Amino acid sequence: MPLYDKILILTGAGMSAESGLSTFRDKDGIWSQYNYEEVATPEGYAADPERCLEFYNKRRVMHRDIEPNQAHKALARLEAEYPGEVIIVTQNIDRLHEEGGSKRVIHMHGRIDQALCQSCGQTYDISYKTLNVDSVCPACKCQGQQRPNVVWFGEIPYFLDEIQKELVSCFLFLSIGTSGSVYPAAGFVNLARKAGAHTVELNLEPSDGAVQFHEAHQGKATEIVPAYVDRLMYEAAIARKEVVQ
Ligand code: OAD
């Protein structure tokens, strides 16, 4: 394993599963309990804003009571100690990467602890507070136009230009805890691979796009992520001749 100048890590719901957050498509996942068209599309919000806001209000409370797990902490250690750049692109709307100590985190699907005013476009922190149909925008003072700052189906994810730049310039692309069923994130492996990166999947089971990875490891994130990070750190130490073999 060489020393990588830049590592790009894509994470999904499986990363936070062992912190107590449900995934989306596993048995008993969020989309087995809710119709995504009602709670995760602009049309669902327009049809019944109260139902949609309530879905996120409930989830926000769940997010308040969780802690980063050993996989989040391992990625933070990698960023702090690895001799190359380490960047996380997450589809998760939780704050567990940051709370685990990671600094360079790109939230491509937004953040549940922020609101977005549909009238003026302002985003603002709401922490674990609720949003309702009467909530007022702190910037333009309008009422009734507030929604979670979360990307819904049919909307364009955030920071795609920045992500694209990192994808085509990374040397190792790691995908962790994602089923690979939602684009554009599901296509990142292909972009990184075409640009010459070594591609690795760490997931409980092979994802929909598993064949596109050079290497895959199956297991729980809290076990396979720290082990993979240890391996990267060890190989980096060998490459820098810090370890006597
Ligand atoms: P999914 O629920 O589609 O996939 C989660 C993946 O994590 C599955 O492949 C599981 O096998 C794996 N997994 C579950 N537990 C795990 C564990 N303990 N350790 C490792 N892997 C585990 O979630 P995402 O791929 O993140 O978007 O879903 C992508 C997007 O679809 C989400 O960001 C969300 C959703 O609809 C929006 O809401 C816009």
49 located within any domain? yes
Best substitution site from 30, 36, 182 to test ligand 1's pocket, by max atoms within 8 Å of Cβ?
182
Residue 14 CA to ligand 1 centre (angstroms): 5
51 and 97: one domain?
no
61 located within any domain? yes
- Cα distance between residue 71 and residue 188, in whole Å: 21
36 located within any domain? yes
List, in sequence order, every residue forming a beta bridge with 215; answer none if it has no partner.
200
Residues 6+ apart with CB under 8 A from 121: none
CATH number of the domain enclosing 207: 3.40.50.1220
- Cα distance between residue 59 and residue 63, in whole Å: 6
Reduced to 3 states (helix: H, G, I; strand: E, B; else coil), residue 166 is helix
245 located within any domain? no
Residue 218 CA to ligand 1 centre (angstroms): 14
What mean pLDDT is predicted for residues 82-88? Answer: 97
Give the range of the structural domain holding residue 118, as residue numbers without chain letter.
23-65+111-150
Q: Mapped to the 3 state alphabet, what secondary structure does 8-32 carry?
A: EEEECHHHCHHHCCCCCCCCCCHHH
Residue 81 CA to ligand 1 centre (angstroms): 27
119 and 230: one domain?
no
205 and 120: one domain?
no
91 and 61: one domain?
no
Best substitution site from 37, 88, 91 to test ligand 1's pocket, by max atoms within 8 Å of Cβ?
91
34 and 136: one domain?
yes
Examine the pLDDT at 83 and tell me if it is beyond 80.
yes
3 and 85: one domain?
yes
Q: Could you give the count of Cα atoms lying within 13 Å of 179 in the half-sphere of its Cβ?
A: 10
The number of the ligand 1 atom at minimal distance from the alpha carbon of 93 is 33
- Cα distance between residue 104 and residue 106, in whole Å: 7
| Catalytic-residue membership of 109 | yes
**pLDDT 10s digits, 20-55:** 999 999 989 999 999 999 999 999 999 999 999 999
What is the residue with the minimal CA distance to atom 37 of ligand 1? Answer: 152
CATH number of the domain enclosing 43: 3.30.1600.10
232 and 176: one domain?
yes
201 located within any domain? yes
- Cα distance between residue 188 and residue 162, in whole Å: 13
pLDDT value at residue 2: 81
125 and 217: one domain?
no
* Look-up of token digits 């910037």: 139
pTM check: above 0.85: yes
2 located within any domain? yes
Q: Could you give the count of Cα atoms lying within 13 Å of 191 in the half-sphere of its Cβ?
A: 19
